[in-house]
Amino acid sequence: MSEAFTFDDVEPGATGDFDELPTGTYVCVIDDTVPGVTSTDKTNLRVQFKVVAGDLKGRTISDWLYFTAASAPFLLSRLTAAGVDPPKGIKTADEAAAKVGALLIGRHVEIVVRPDEYPKGSGEFNQRVKAWKPAPEALRSAPVAAGVSAGGTDDDIPF
């Protein structure tokens, strides 16, 4: 069932408030990934992080991964920080984005957020994820899918 929604009570000209995640280091869970294509036809993956500790718990920020031959070492460093082994047998960037996205969801990482000028030389700065680091040891285990036990047998499955 869809959530109730209407524009009827929104004041004309309303913009809403958005506060960027401040500069700092945050322990996060990857709670969503969305494959896409840039305007220059490059395959990318939007990775959404949710802060899991501290005063800013629940806040989100996204990072984009680009799947090109030149970016493979960079991508490998991100996967390693998330505790993910790169999938084998991939033939295309689109396939890579889809498989990597699925492997990242539920993983914990520590991210470093810093201001970044974009486009370069514009004088406009936005907060960006500048680095991924391994999460604290207690959060590094593989994610467990909803409704799936972390161990044992499948004897309790009713079919």
Query: Regarding the domain delimited by 26-137, which CATH topology (the fold level of the hierarchy) does it fall under?
Result: OB fold (Dihydrolipoamide Acetyltransferase, E2P) (2.40.50)
What confidence tens digit (pLDDT) does each residue in 41-57 have? 999 999 999 999 999 99
What confidence tens digit (pLDDT) does each residue in 113-147 have? 999 998 889 999 999 999 999 999 888 765 654 43
Q: Percentage of the chain with pLDDT > 70? A: 84
Domain ranges of the chain: 26-137
Measured CA to CA, the distance from residue 38 to residue 18 in angstroms comes to 24
Task: Average the pLDDT over 72-85 and give the result.
Answer: 95
> Is the pTM of the predicted complex or chain greater than 0.85?
no
pLDDT at 157 over 80: no
Angstrom CA distances, 71 to 43, 76, 78, 113, 125, stand at 11, 9, 11, 20, 24
